[in-house]
Structure 1
Amino acid sequence: MRKLLLPTLIIIAASLLLIRIFYLQVINDTFKLKSENNAIKIKYDYPERGYIFDRNGKLLVANQASYDIMVIPRELKNIDTLEFCQLLNITKEDYIKKIEKAKVYSPRLPSVFLPQLNKSEFAAFQEKIRKFEGFYFQKRSLRDYEVDFGANIFGFITQVNERLIEKNPYYKSGDLIGRQGVEESYEEILRGIKGVKYIQKDKYNREIGSYKDGKYDTIAVQGEDINLTIDAEIQRYGEQLMINKRGGIVAIEPKTGEILALVTAPSYDPAILVGRQRSKNYTLLYHDSIAKPLYDRGLLAEYPPGSPFKILTGLIALQEEVIDEHTTFVCHHGFSYAPGRFMKCHGSGPHQLNNGIYNSCNTYFANVYLRIIGKYKSTPYAVDNWSNHLKSFGLGQFMGYDLPTGKRGKVPTSKTYKSIYPNWNYSGKTIISNSIGQGEVLMTPIQLANMIATVANEGYYYTPHIIKKIKGASIDKKFTTKHVTTIDKKYFKPMIQGLFDVYNYGTASSLRVEGIDICGKTGTAENFAKIGGKRVQLKDHSIFVAFAPKDNPKIAIAILVENGGFGATIAGPIASLMIEKYLRKKITRVDLEKRVLGISLRDQYAKLGGMKEASAIETTPKDSISRKETSTLKVDSTKQN
């Protein structure tokens, strides 16, 4: 038996080898196709990208035809470079540089010589392209923007680089890919599948027909259309209200987590990143270190949240049962928490939860926070317990939304304070600034919006997302998964009443909209920057969060306006206007609208390096504060904040 084992194994191995060789040489033509590449020309048929619509079916992004001039270096023969360069309005030096670059990529494979010719440029060159052997046209599809807003939402398309080509074999030289926004997030859905045709050539390099009668050819499959959750009208309106201002607006439908508006200011017309001027315009935007129009403040800007954070301080205290809605603290224009340490407040007299919220009393929430931390013998344990409550609102972490950029914000833990105070037993008074949204807490506008949406829902939220519908497919299940906070539902009702009374009796009483029950909270952030090596205080940032209606909320919103002053000065009016625009499709508070549209903060921004003149490619001015700034939070003021 052992004598037969070795011969048997040899026979089996030889048989398998022969079968494989027969398959590759007789049945499968794949390697034959590769070996005949020198006699085969590959042509790609690029599909249209999927269209982009808003939540109501309004077309936002379509397509337009574009043509690339492709070159196969080894097929170049007897080129009249002077005539060629004159036709395309390029220099001979440019011609040589582009040809050398194509040779480096591959002498025998096509690469882009000149991209994105429009119809008139294509027509002029098409008549004479037969004279320039080795060059041919490749039709592609570029974006055609039906609106002049939402650039940060859409992103843009650009040519793939060599690194990506090496990483992903689907892409070839000259292919286009989505970058930033939904173009990047949903690239594989929007791009479709390109078709391939194999053309047989004879020994004279002439095309003689399809290889193998088209056996290996494939047809292009158009990209799928998508509907965004964005409401085009309030997106446009939000960008209009933010002209001559800098900051971010995020609006969410509380019951679904759908993003209704995502505004960053300043922004730009998305159409400037289409065509042959795309690279030049992108470079201008990219190198604008003052305004940073490519920086999405709604997703990336991290700020101490200020007084809107008092909402969370109150809810955690209720959950921890260290207060109830009737617990009273007396305010004497501030709170003394250590020798020489005094937290100012514009309020006075006794405060409970309701008027503590609508008067934005620092003294009340400082005392509440001390009870939260003081409930446990171990301060580190108490801090981590407090931190875990905050994290249940989606804070201090990447939220998982379907856009390719973002920041996690910051929720401090016991580890945070161990690194700050390694040899010091800190207490609640040491970190008392956390009580009013100062201290080490940082939040992005989208986190603020999700927080107030969670309050509107009385304790749950859905991951914010921008995709509503994909033709022929379903959206990710994570966007329909409910996240429940650590706060019991019963504690949200008194808090919501306090937020409602902010509009009735408190810091937003002048911002009411007749017939709409709005709940909201003002905030103000101090703004410091280094100018000439000195720390200089500039005008405060304006913050506001709100939702409406009070019962069965349809919209939750967060606004941050850099250098906007008190929360009720600019951010608050914008919130009221955006809410009315969404719910009623019209504006009755024309006084607020006129006030906001008339406010320009360009002079404030000029203090940080000078104001650039608006260029011809802008739809809103380049006027944002340098991101080198640092921010801390200002004490809220009753009836002013």
Structure 2
Amino acid sequence: MRQFLLFISVIGVGLLFISRLFYLQVYNTNTQSLYEDNAIRKVFDLPKRGFVYDRNGELLVSNQPSYDVMVIPREVEPLDTLEFCQLLKIEKEDFISKYEKAYHYSPRLESVFVSHLSKEDYAVLQEKMRKFKGFYIQKRSLRHYTTTIGANVLGDIGEVNNRIISRDPYYRMGDLIGKQGVEASYENTLRGVKGIKFIQKDRFNRNIGPYKDGKFDTIPVQGKDITITIDAQLQAYGELLMKNKRGGVIAIEPSSGEILAMVAAPTYDPNILVGRERSKNFTKLYNDSIAKPLFNRSLQGVYEPGSPFKLMNALIALQEGVITPQESVTCYKGYRYGNRVMKCHCNYGTRNNLITGIQRSCNAYFATTYRKILDKDGNASHGIDAWSKHAKSFGLGEFLNNDLYVGQKGRIPDRDYYRGIYPKTFYSTYTISNAIGQGEVATTPIQLANMAAAIANRGYYYTPHIIKHIEGETLPEQFTEPKQTTIEKRHFEPVIEGMLQVYKNGTAASLQVKDIEICGKTGTVENFIKIDSVKTQLTDHSIFVAFAPKDNPKIAIAVFVENGYWGSRFAGKVASLMIEKHIKGYITRTDLEEWLLRHSLQDEYAKPYTGEPFQINGYTTLQVVQEQEYNRLKNELNKINKTDN
């Protein structure tokens, strides 16, 4: 029996190997095993990305054809490097660097060698590709922005990095992914699904045809089209008004939370981040640490909200029952506490109630109101926690849980926040600057616009969002369910009346628009930076929040203009014009329009770097743009108006 043992063992092992191979090749031929099979070449067919439309159906982003030279390093054979580099319009050093990068990624997997060939370069190269073994041309789609606006809204696409590849196996070296804006927020929707072809190779590594007659091949699935909430014409108008200025503008539809416009100034043409020049242009934008065009001020800019926050303090005081709309406070050109004075523009001895306090933006009235909130039960620690809870119910001091790619929380302090500074005793006067929206309070433009929308709705808001429609899908509940604030509906009417009086008789009286009841609030915020380690005060920021009309509101807006002096000087004009543009579709306050086009703040932004003196109170002569620049802006305006008509 022993003489057959070795023979039986050999036969058994052989049958085991044969059965295993038979199983792998016949019964277990799945896509995963094909990916791992070195004898099969994988060729991906990249899908077209979905289109992006504005709320009115205007096409904003489509696709254009592009061609990439791909490489499989281990299949590369000796070649005429000089000729190849000339065809690709690259230097030999670039060739070596790109090859080493591809080899380091994977010797056996394809990766992008040179991306974004033009049609002309592709036509010349295609005829000679047979001479360069291991290289082939892959067709793909690049973005085509049919507009020059909304760079911060739309975003851009760029190549994935190793971190993304390791996190998501869908992507391979050279793939494109949404980097910013809508392109990033809705990447999984827009990107589609890759197709793939499996090519059988022989023992000499030559292609011999489709594996199993293409049984496992798939075709690409184009990404879904999306409609965003932005009104392209209102967006273009807002960007034009903010030319030669820095800041952020957010306009929201109160009845839905849809973002009508999202302006970040300065901005740039999204088309410069497409094609072979993308890397160079992105580097220029990224390295601009002064103007920061890649910084989305409308979402990421964290500023003290200034006087618009007085609206919040008024609502909280009414809810807490510490004031009535009729009660008045006498203002002696400011509020005095200890040996300090919080100055005010009211005449000496002016008496203000809630409505006139908002109308005149009286610091004395709101400092008194703030102290009443915190001292309600004799314990300022409890009072500030209650104050903080009410403010946060409006989305302040929190991420808004929206679908925007970037954002900041801002800051609404509570007792825990102050415990490190005041560990034992805590009094309302310690944080009195919160009464006028300064001190430790910090917000973003989108948060203030959302606050204005909640006031317009008399106590609730919808999460601000950028998506309006995705083909074949419904919007998630987070965008369609209203969020209630902690303030009862009855308390909003006197505050809204005060906002209306801001336009009729108050700090924005010069900005009235015929036939539209606008409710607003001006704001002026002190502006400090460090220059050579010295805290230096620059020109104040200009802030404005508003909604309109008073009843059945169609738009809520927040405008921040950095170094813009006071609220009505820059921000108020921008807000009033955008409100009229949205509601009427045309402009009657052409005087405001003309003023904004003619005046620039570029000199203000240059002062910290030129050593020029600062004028804090806004009495300097404003820089007027040169006639050539004004004519260019006027032509842009005419184009926008012509499109509207």
* TM-score normalised by structure 1 residue count: 0.90
In 2, Cα distance between equivalents of 1:162 and 1:434: 45
Q: Which has the higher contact order (CA 8 A, sep 6+)?
A: 1
Query: 1:319 — aligned with what?
Result: 319
Query: 1:367 — aligned with what?
Result: 368
1:446-494 superposed Cα distances (whole Å, 9 cap, x missing partner): 0000001100000000110000000111222101111101110001011
Deviation at 1:564, TM superposition (A): 0.5
In 2, Cα distance between equivalents of 1:418 and 1:342: 25
Query: 1:461 — aligned with what?
Result: 461
- Answering whether residue 403 of structure 2 is matched by residue 415 of structure 1, we say no
Are the aligned partners of 2:35 and 2:42 in contact in 1 as well (CA < 8 Å)? Answer: no
Stretches of structure 1 that go unaligned for 5 or more consecutive residues are 1-17, 612-618, 621-641
Are the aligned partners of 1:24 and 1:31 in contact in 2 as well (CA < 8 Å)? Answer: no
Letter of the structure 2 residue corresponding to residue 376 of structure 1:
D
The 5 Å alignment of 1:254-403 reads 254-338=254-338, 340-348=339-347, 349-403=350-404
The 5 Å alignment of 1:392-541 reads 392-423=393-424, 425-541=425-541
- With 357-366 and 530-539 compared, the bigger mean Cα shift is at 530-539
1:15-48 superposed Cα distances (whole Å, 9 cap, x missing partner): xxx9999855641113995498333221111111
- Answering whether residue 564 of structure 2 is matched by residue 564 of structure 1, we say yes
1:549-569 superposed Cα distances (whole Å, 9 cap, x missing partner): 111000000000001011010
In 2, Cα distance between equivalents of 1:133 and 1:317: 77
Quote the RMSD (CA, aligned, Å): 2.0
- With 96-105 and 455-464 compared, the bigger mean Cα shift is at 96-105
Instruction: Describe the SS at the equivalent of 1:236.
Output: helix
Are the aligned partners of 2:267 and 2:293 in contact in 1 as well (CA < 8 Å)? Answer: yes
**Taking structure 1 as reference, are residues 26 and 85 closer, same or farther at Cα in structure 2, changes over 3 Å only?**
closer
1:488-524 superposed Cα distances (whole Å, 9 cap, x missing partner): 0001011111101110000000000101110000000
Are the aligned partners of 1:302 and 1:443 in contact in 2 as well (CA < 8 Å)? Answer: yes
In 2, Cα distance between equivalents of 1:20 and 1:204: 25
Deviation at 1:107, TM superposition (A): 1.7
1:565-619 superposed Cα distances (whole Å, 9 cap, x missing partner): 11010100100100011111111100000001111111111112359xxxxxxx9
Letter of the structure 1 residue corresponding to residue 135 of structure 2:
F
In 2, Cα distance between equivalents of 1:240 and 1:465: 23
- With 61-70 and 107-116 compared, the bigger mean Cα shift is at 107-116
In 2, Cα distance between equivalents of 1:439 and 1:535: 16
- Answering whether residue 262 of structure 2 is matched by residue 247 of structure 1, we say no
In 2, Cα distance between equivalents of 1:33 and 1:393: 53
Instruction: Describe the SS at the equivalent of 2:345.
Output: strand
Letter of the structure 2 residue corresponding to residue 320 of structure 1:
E
Deviation at 1:534, TM superposition (A): 2.7
In 2, Cα distance between equivalents of 1:437 and 1:232: 32
Are the aligned partners of 2:68 and 2:140 in contact in 1 as well (CA < 8 Å)? Answer: yes
Letter of the structure 1 residue corresponding to residue 344 of structure 2:
C
- With 326-335 and 524-533 compared, the bigger mean Cα shift is at 524-533
Are the aligned partners of 1:252 and 1:258 in contact in 2 as well (CA < 8 Å)? Answer: yes
In 2, Cα distance between equivalents of 1:221 and 1:483: 37
Query: 2:219 — aligned with what?
Result: 219
Are the aligned partners of 2:42 and 2:198 in contact in 1 as well (CA < 8 Å)? Answer: yes
- Answering whether residue 182 of structure 2 is matched by residue 176 of structure 1, we say no
**Taking structure 1 as reference, are residues 442 and 20 closer, same or farther at Cα in structure 2, changes over 3 Å only?**
farther
Instruction: Describe the SS at the equivalent of 1:142.
Output: strand
Are the aligned partners of 1:370 and 1:432 in contact in 2 as well (CA < 8 Å)? Answer: yes
Deviation at 1:323, TM superposition (A): 1.1
In 1, Cα distance between equivalents of 2:20 and 2:586: 72
* TM-score normalised by structure 2 residue count: 0.90
Are the aligned partners of 1:313 and 1:365 in contact in 2 as well (CA < 8 Å)? Answer: yes
**Taking structure 1 as reference, are residues 66 and 292 closer, same or farther at Cα in structure 2, changes over 3 Å only?**
same
The 5 Å alignment of 1:52-91 reads 52-91=52-91
Deviation at 1:536, TM superposition (A): 2.2
In 2, Cα distance between equivalents of 1:601 and 1:524: 16
Deviation at 1:134, TM superposition (A): 1.2
In 1, Cα distance between equivalents of 2:525 and 2:598: 22
Instruction: Describe the SS at the equivalent of 1:396.
Output: coil
Are the aligned partners of 1:52 and 1:60 in contact in 2 as well (CA < 8 Å)? Answer: yes
In 1, Cα distance between equivalents of 2:161 and 2:470: 28
In 1, Cα distance between equivalents of 2:32 and 2:398: 53
1:433-458 superposed Cα distances (whole Å, 9 cap, x missing partner): 11111121100000000001100000
Query: 1:136 — aligned with what?
Result: 136
Deviation at 1:87, TM superposition (A): 1.3
In 1, Cα distance between equivalents of 2:469 and 2:68: 32
Deviation at 1:98, TM superposition (A): 1.5
Are the aligned partners of 2:251 and 2:558 in contact in 1 as well (CA < 8 Å)? Answer: yes
In 2, Cα distance between equivalents of 1:20 and 1:325: 85
Letter of the structure 2 residue corresponding to residue 294 of structure 1:
L
1:388-428 superposed Cα distances (whole Å, 9 cap, x missing partner): 000110111111110121110001101112111124x1211
Deviation at 1:150, TM superposition (A): 0.6
Are the aligned partners of 2:87 and 2:121 in contact in 1 as well (CA < 8 Å)? Answer: no
Query: 1:630 — aligned with what?
Result: none
Q: How many residue pairs align between the two structures?
A: 595
Instruction: Describe the SS at the equivalent of 1:307.
Output: coil
In 1, Cα distance between equivalents of 2:66 and 2:238: 32
In 2, Cα distance between equivalents of 1:299 and 1:547: 19
